Chains A and B, each alone.
Chain A
Amino acid sequence: MRRSISFVLILLSVLSLAAMAVAAEPGQPILITSAGQSADDMILKVMLERQFGNPVDRNPLAEASEVEGHQTLLLAVGVSNKGLGAAGINLEQEKARLTSVLDAAKAADCYVIMVHIGGPSRRGAGSDEVARLVAPYASKMIILADSNQDGFFDELAKEHDAALEIVESRNDVALIIADLVK
Chain B
Amino acid sequence: MRTPRVLVLALVLAALLAGTAVQAQGPMLHDVRPGYGVTKIGWLSDYHAPLRGTRADTRVYYLDSGEPGPTAVILGGTHANEIAGIAAATLIVERAEVTKGRIIVIPYANNSAASSIDDVRPNITTWSIETESGTRIFRYGDRRTREADQGPDPEVYVHYPSGYELDPDEARNLNRAHPGKADGTLTQQAAYAYTQLIKQENAAIAVDMHEAGTESRLANMLVANPKNLDLAVIAIVELELKGVKMNVEQSSEEFRGLSHREWGDHTQAYAYLIETPNPGQSPNIVDPDVVNDPKFPLAMRVATQLATVEAIFTAHELVLGERPQWINLPSYDELVQNGLGSYLR
Chain A residues within CB distance 8 Å of chain B: 38-39, 42-43, 46-47, 50, 80-83, 85-86, 118-119, 121-122, 146, 169-171
- Please indicate the chain A residues that have their CB under 8 angstroms from the CB of B253 in the complex: 82, 85-86
Return 30 A-B CB contacts under 8 Å, by A number. Answer: A39-B229, A39-B232, A39-B233, A39-B248, A39-B249, A39-B250, A42-B230, A42-B233, A42-B248, A43-B233, A43-B236, A43-B237, A43-B248, A46-B234, A46-B237, A47-B240, A50-B237, A82-B250, A82-B252, A82-B253, A83-B249, A85-B252, A85-B253, A86-B226, A118-B247, A121-B221, A169-B240, A169-B243, A169-B245, A170-B245
The distance in angstroms between the C-alpha atoms of A146 and B220, with both chains bound, is 13
Give the distance to chain B from A87, nearest Cβ to Cβ, in Å.
10
Residue in B218, B219, B241, B249 whose CB lies within 8 Å of A80: B249
With A39-B233, A121-B219, A171-B241 given, can you name 7 additional A-B contacts, CB distance below 8 Å? A39-B229, A39-B248, A39-B249, A43-B248, A85-B253, A86-B253, A171-B240
Chain B residues within CB distance 8 Å of chain A: 217-219, 221, 226, 229-230, 232-234, 236-237, 240-241, 243, 245, 247-254
- Please indicate the chain A residues that have their CB under 8 angstroms from the CB of B254 in the complex: 85
- Please indicate the chain B residues that have their CB under 8 angstroms from the CB of A82 in the complex: 249-253
> Given that A82-B252, A169-B240 are known contacts, is A46 also in contact with B233, CB under 8 Å in the complex?
yes
The distance in angstroms between the C-alpha atoms of A46 and B233, with both chains bound, is 8
- Please indicate the chain A residues that have their CB under 8 angstroms from the CB of B218 in the complex: 121
Compute the total of residue contacts between A and B using a CB distance below 8 Å.
54
Give the distance to chain A from B277, nearest Cβ to Cβ, in Å.
11
- Please indicate the chain A residues that have their CB under 8 angstroms from the CB of B250 in the complex: 39, 82-83, 86
Residue in B232, B243, B249 whose CB lies within 8 Å of A38: B249
Residue in A46, A83, A121, A169 whose CB lies within 8 Å of B217: A121
- Please indicate the chain A residues that have their CB under 8 angstroms from the CB of B217 in the complex: 121
- Please indicate the chain A residues that have their CB under 8 angstroms from the CB of B237 in the complex: 43, 46-47, 50, 170
- Please indicate the chain B residues that have their CB under 8 angstroms from the CB of A46 in the complex: 233-234, 237
The distance in angstroms between the C-alpha atoms of A31 and B168, with both chains bound, is 47
Q: List the 3 closest A-B pairs by CB distance, nearest first.
A: A121-B217, A85-B253, A42-B233
Q: Which residue of A lies closest to B253 (CB)?
A: A85
Give the distance to chain A from B256, nearest Cβ to Cβ, in Å.
13
